[in-house]
Chains A and B, each alone.
Chain A
Amino acid sequence: MVIERVGSKVIKFYVPLAAYLIFLLFPFYWMVNTVFKSNTELYNLDLNPFYIHSPTLHNIVRLFTETIFLRWMANTFFVAIMATLISLVASLLAAYAIQRLQFKTSGPTGVAIFLGYLIPQTILFIPLAHIIFKLRLWDSLWALVLTYPTFLIPFCTWLLMGYFKSIPKEMEECAMIDGASRIKIFRRIILPLCLPGVLSAGIFCFTLSWNEYLYALAFISSTAKKTVPIGLVTELVRGDVYHWGALMAGALCASVPVALVYSFFVEHYVAGMTGALKE
C-alpha cells in the first residue's frame, strides 16, 4: 500500500517535474557545456558531446581578447540604466496622477497607456527608424535610450497603479489636513511607501531593456555602439565560419547580469509579473 502510494507519487509528480526541468534547463546546459570545450573537442563526433573531456577557458579568453565584448556590455548597461531611470520617473508620476489625483481625463489616460503596452515593437520599428533618422539619432545609443521607454512606461505605469491602489488613502488625507502640499505628500509619504513597487518596476525595466533586440538591431550600425546580442552575431559569425565556443561564451556572460538581478529579487519579480496580470 505504502509502496504503491510512493510509486504513484513518483509517477504522477516527480517524473513530470523532472521532464519539465530537463526541457527547460537543457539549452542552458548545452550553452555551458559548449563554452568550456576546445574546438577540437567540439567538432569531434566520436566523443560524447554531453560531457566536457578536457575543460578549457580558451573560448572566454577569446571572447574578451578578440572582440570588444566589454564595450558591448557597457553599451547595453548604459542603455538599460538610462531607459530604466527615464521610465521609472515618468511612470511613477503618471501612475500616481492617474490613480490618486482623479483629474478629469485620468480614466482615458490610464486606458491609453495600458493599450500602449499591447502594441508590439514589430509594428513600430519601421516608422521609428524613419523618425530616428530625421532626429539625427541614427547609430546613436540615445536612439535606444529614447525609444525603450515606449514599452517600459506602459508596463511600469500599470504595475505602479496597482501598487498605489494598495496604499491607504487616509494617510494622504491626514497629511492634507495637517496642511502639507500635494507635492510634499508625494515626496514624503507616497514615495517612501511605494519603494518596493518601484523596485519591482525597476527590475522589470532593466531586464526588458537588457533583453531588447529589434530596435538595437535596426537603429545601430557601427560595431562599437552595438549591444551584446547584436555584436556577438556580427563579430563571431563571419560568412560560413561560426565561432560557436566564443558565441556561447558571450551568451553566457551577457546572461549573468540579468540572472544576478533576478536571483536577488526573484520574489519581487514574481510578484510584479502576477500583479501586472491581475490588475
Chain B
Amino acid sequence: MDAIAASEQTREATGLRGRISRALENPTVLGLLFVAPAEFLLLIFLAYPLLLGLWLGFTDTIVGREGNFIGFENYAWLLEDPTFWLTCFNTFLYTLVAVIFKAVLGIGLAVILNRDFKGKGFMRAIVLLPWIIPTALSALCFWWLYDSTFSGISWFLMKLGIIDHFIDFLGDPWNARWSLIAANVWRGVPFFTIGLLAGLQTISPDLYEAAEIDGAGAWKKFRKITLPLLTPLLTIVTVFSTIWTFADFQLVWIITKGGPAGATHIFGTLSYQRAMQGGQFGEGAAISNLMLPILITCVFIAFVFMRKED
C-alpha cells in the first residue's frame, strides 16, 4: 500500500497534473473549490434575488418589462391602502395566535410523549404526519372541511345541539381568520413537539425525583424544572416557527385566497396577488420588503441564541 502510494506520488509530482494535485492539498484551495457549487447556486438564486427584490420595490416594474426608479412611491401608495393595513393586522394576528397555540399544544404533547408507554415509537411517528404531508394537500382537505354546507364539524356540532345552523367558516372574515389559524396550528404542533421532545429527553430524571421528595406536584415540577431547562431550545423552535408562520403563503392561498373580499390576506398572499396576478412586480416586491424588519429581528434572535448554545 505504502509502495503504491509512494510511486503514485513520484509519478504525479511532475507536470500540470502534479501541480493541480499539489494545489488540491492546500486546504484553502480545496475548501474554496468545495464550497463553490453551493455558493454559486445561493448567490444567483438567493443573494441576488434578495437584493433585486429591494431594488424592485423602488421601481414600477411590471411583469416582463423593466421598470423605472420611482423612489418611495410604492411604499407611499401602500401606506394609504386600507387593504395593506388590514393585511398587517391579519399577519400579526395569524402569527401571534398561531405560534402561541402551537407552542402550548406542542409542549403539552411533548410532555405526554416523553413518558414511557407501549407504542411510544409508533405514536411519535403518527404525530409527525401533519408536518410531513405536503401542506398544500392538507390545505385542500381543510378547505373541504370548512365547506359551508357539507362540513363534518358543523354536522357534528349540530347533532350535539351546540349550534343550530351550519357554520359559514370561510364566508365571514373572523370565522375565516380563526379557521386559518386552526389549520396552521394543526400543521405546526408536530414541529414543536418533536423539537422539544429531544430537549426533554436530556433532562435528568434525578431532578424530578429530588423535587418529588421535596413534595412538588406535577405542575410545580413542570414550571420549576422542565420549563427553565427547556427555554433555550423552546426559544429557537419558537423563532423558527414565527418566521415560517409570518411568511406563510400556501395555507392561506389555498383555503381562502385572501378572501372573503381581502379580509384574510397576509403579506405573502397579498404580494402574490399584486405581483403574479396583477402583474405589478414593483408593488408586490414592496409588500415583501416590508416583511424584512420583522424577519431580520427574528433571524437575529435565532442567531444570538444558537451562538450561545454552541
Interface residues of A (CB under 8 A from B): 12-13, 16-17, 20-21, 23-25, 27-28, 30-31, 34, 42-43, 45, 49-50, 86, 89-91, 93-94, 96-98, 101-106, 109, 112-116, 118-131, 133, 146-147, 149-150, 153-154, 157, 178-183, 207, 210-211, 213-214, 217-218, 228-230, 232-233, 242, 244, 247-248, 250-251, 254-255, 258-259, 262-263, 266, 269-270, 273-274, 277-279
The residue in chain B whose Cβ has the minimal distance to the Cβ of A278 is B198
Question: In the bound complex, do residue B2 and residue A103 qualify as a contact, i.e. CB atoms below 8 Å apart?
Answer: no
Within the complex, what minimum Cβ distance (angstroms) separates A173 from chain B? Answer: 13
How many angstroms from the CA of A217 to the CA of B137 in the assembled complex?
A: 14
Question: In the bound complex, do residue A255 and residue B133 qualify as a contact, i.e. CB atoms below 8 Å apart?
Answer: yes
**Interface-central residue, A21, A114, A232, A277, by most chain B CB under 10 Å:** A277
How many angstroms from the CA of A269 to the CA of B222 in the assembled complex?
A: 28
Question: In the bound complex, do residue A211 and residue B134 qualify as a contact, i.e. CB atoms below 8 Å apart?
Answer: yes
B258 proximal to A (CB < 8 A): no
How many angstroms from the CA of A146 to the CA of B32 in the assembled complex?
A: 21
Question: In the bound complex, do residue B125 and residue A263 qualify as a contact, i.e. CB atoms below 8 Å apart?
Answer: yes
Within the complex, what minimum Cβ distance (angstroms) separates A216 from chain B? Answer: 9
Chain A residue numbers with a CB within 8 Å of B254 are 229, 233
Within the complex, what minimum Cβ distance (angstroms) separates A209 from chain B? Answer: 10
B227 proximal to A (CB < 8 A): no
Q: From the candidates B31, B253, B291, B306, name the one contacting A101 in the complex (CB within 8 A).
A: B31
Question: In the bound complex, do residue B21 and residue A262 qualify as a contact, i.e. CB atoms below 8 Å apart?
Answer: no
Task: With A20-B112, A131-B48, A251-B141 as known contacts, state yes or no: A109 contacts B39, CB within 8 Å.
Answer: yes
How many angstroms from the CA of A45 to the CA of B155 in the assembled complex?
A: 9
The residue in chain B whose Cβ has the minimal distance to the Cβ of A17 is B112
Within the complex, what minimum Cβ distance (angstroms) separates A102 from chain B? Answer: 6
Q: From the candidates A42, A43, A115, A124, name the one contacting B49 in the complex (CB within 8 A).
A: A124
Chain B residue numbers with a CB within 8 Å of A12 are 218
Q: How many residues of B contact A (CB 8 A)?
A: 107
Task: With A93-B35, A103-B28 as known contacts, state yes or no: A126 contacts B42, CB within 8 Å.
Answer: no
Chain B interface, >50% SS class: helix
How many angstroms from the CA of A154 to the CA of B299 in the assembled complex?
A: 14
Question: In the bound complex, do residue A90 and residue B128 qualify as a contact, i.e. CB atoms below 8 Å apart?
Answer: no
Question: In the bound complex, do residue B37 and residue A120 qualify as a contact, i.e. CB atoms below 8 Å apart?
Answer: no
B68 proximal to A (CB < 8 A): no
Question: In the bound complex, do residue B244 and residue A86 qualify as a contact, i.e. CB atoms below 8 Å apart?
Answer: no
Question: In the bound complex, do residue B45 and residue A31 qualify as a contact, i.e. CB atoms below 8 Å apart?
Answer: no
Task: Pick out which of these stretches binds chain A: B82-90, B142-150, B170-178, B207-215.
Answer: B142-150
The residue in chain A whose Cβ has the minimal distance to the Cβ of B247 is A120
Question: In the bound complex, do residue A98 and residue B35 qualify as a contact, i.e. CB atoms below 8 Å apart?
Answer: yes
How many angstroms from the CA of A105 to the CA of B28 in the assembled complex?
A: 9
Question: In the bound complex, do residue B37 and residue A259 qualify as a contact, i.e. CB atoms below 8 Å apart?
Answer: no
How many angstroms from the CA of A213 to the CA of B250 in the assembled complex?
A: 7
Q: From the candidates B9, B30, B267, name the one contacting A97 in the complex (CB within 8 A).
A: B30
B223 proximal to A (CB < 8 A): no
Chain A residue numbers with a CB within 8 Å of B198 are 274, 277-278
Chain A residue numbers with a CB within 8 Å of B299 are 115, 118
How many angstroms from the CA of A248 to the CA of B145 in the assembled complex?
A: 11
**Interface-central residue, A20, A89, A105, by most chain B CB under 10 Å:** A20
B259 proximal to A (CB < 8 A): no
Within the complex, what minimum Cβ distance (angstroms) separates A197 from chain B? Answer: 16
How many angstroms from the CA of A142 to the CA of B292 in the assembled complex?
A: 28
B162 proximal to A (CB < 8 A): no
25 contacts between A and B (CB under 8 A): A28-B133, A28-B141, A30-B152, A34-B144, A49-B155, A90-B38, A93-B34, A94-B37, A97-B34, A106-B31, A119-B50, A120-B295, A127-B285, A153-B38, A157-B38, A178-B2, A179-B6, A207-B132, A213-B253, A217-B276, A228-B137, A248-B141, A250-B137, A254-B137, A269-B132
Chain B residue numbers with a CB within 8 Å of A20 are 105, 108-109, 112, 127
Chain B residue numbers with a CB within 8 Å of A242 are 144
Within the complex, what minimum Cβ distance (angstroms) separates A123 from chain B? Answer: 5
Task: With A115-B299, A122-B291, A251-B138 as known contacts, state yes or no: A130 contacts B250, CB within 8 Å.
Answer: no
Q: From the candidates B28, B30, B127, B140, name the one contacting A229 in the complex (CB within 8 A).
A: B140
Question: In the bound complex, do residue A277 and residue B237 qualify as a contact, i.e. CB atoms below 8 Å apart?
Answer: yes
How many angstroms from the CA of A262 to the CA of B128 in the assembled complex?
A: 10
Question: In the bound complex, do residue B34 and residue A122 qualify as a contact, i.e. CB atoms below 8 Å apart?
Answer: no
Chain B residue numbers with a CB within 8 Å of A98 are 31, 35
Question: In the bound complex, do residue A93 and residue B250 qualify as a contact, i.e. CB atoms below 8 Å apart?
Answer: no
3 closest cross-chain pairs (CB), A and B: A103-B31, A120-B247, A229-B136
